Chain A
C-alpha cells in the first residue's frame, strides 16, 4: 500500500526566506506525486505534479519540487516566501497509469505554512 509522510505539521518562515516542506512516500513502484495547496475556507488547488518526466518540477506561484527516487522524497521549495503563501500544503501520491487506481490520491497529513513579516 502507498503512504505519504509530511515531516512537520507546522512550518514558520519569515517573508523572503526559503520555504522547504518535506514529503516522503512509500510505494512499491515509482508513483505519481502531487503537491496541493489549500487556502482558508477553500478547496485544494494543484501546485505541481511529477509524472515520470523531468525530476525537477516547476509549479505555480514560484514553487518547485524535486523527485528523488533514492530518498523516496518529493520536497517542495520556494526561494523567497511571500505573505500570500500562508496556507496548508498537502503532498499526495497516486499509482501509475495502467492499473485500476483510477488516479485516486493518498494524502499526507498536511503542513501549515505561516509567513511572518
Chain B
C-alpha cells in the first residue's frame, strides 16, 4: 500500500512564526502536492512538485513556499504564519500524468493564534 505520512497531525503556532509541515511518501512517486482544505471550499492546491528541486505554484500560493530536496520528501513552509492560514493541510503524491490516482496523507490541522 502507498503511504503518505505527514509528520504532525495537530499544530498550534503563533502569528508571525515560521512553520514547517513535512510530508514523506514511500512509493517513489515523481509528483507531490500540498492542498489546503476549508469548509465549503473543498481542497485548493497550494504548490506541487514534479521532480526533485522542481516546483510550481498552484491556485493559492501566496504566503507559502515549498522545498523538495529529496524525491520522497515535500515540505510546506509558512514564512510568517497568520490567522487566516488556520486550516487543514493535506499532502498527496502520484506518479506520471493525468488519470493516475493521487494518494493523500491524513492531514495536518494547523491553528494560528
Partners in one complex: yes
Which residues does A use to contact B, with CB under 8 Å? 4, 6, 9, 31-32, 34, 36, 41-46, 49, 51-52, 90, 92, 94-99, 101-110
Which 5 A/B pairs are nearest by Cβ-Cβ distance?
A: A43-B104, A97-B97, A51-B99, A107-B42, A107-B43
Asked if residues B97 and A43 are in contact (CB atoms below 8 Å), the reply is: no
A104 to B34, CA, bound (A): 10
Q: Which chain B residues in 1-60 approach chain A with CB under 8 Å?
A: 4, 30-31, 33, 35, 40-45, 48, 50, 58
Asked if residues A102 and B104 are in contact (CB atoms below 8 Å), the reply is: no
1/0 contact string of B83-113 vs chain A (CB within 8 Å): 0000000101010111111111111000000
Asked if residues A90 and B31 are in contact (CB atoms below 8 Å), the reply is: no
Asked if residues A49 and B98 are in contact (CB atoms below 8 Å), the reply is: no
A49 to B94, CA, bound (A): 14
With beta carbons under 8 angstroms apart, the residue of B31, B42, B58 that contacts A103 is: B31
Q: Which residues in A have their C-beta under 8 angstroms from that of B99?
A: 32, 49, 51-52, 94, 96-97, 103
Highest count of chain A CB atoms <10 Å: which of B42, B50, B94, B103: B42
A106 to B102, CA, bound (A): 12
Q: Which residues in B have their C-beta under 8 angstroms from that of A42?
A: 106-107
Highest count of chain A CB atoms <10 Å: which of B45, B90, B97, B105: B97
Q: Which residues in B have their C-beta under 8 angstroms from that of A46?
A: 101-103
Asked if residues B104 and A97 are in contact (CB atoms below 8 Å), the reply is: no
Asked if residues A102 and B40 are in contact (CB atoms below 8 Å), the reply is: no
Asked if residues B106 and A101 are in contact (CB atoms below 8 Å), the reply is: no
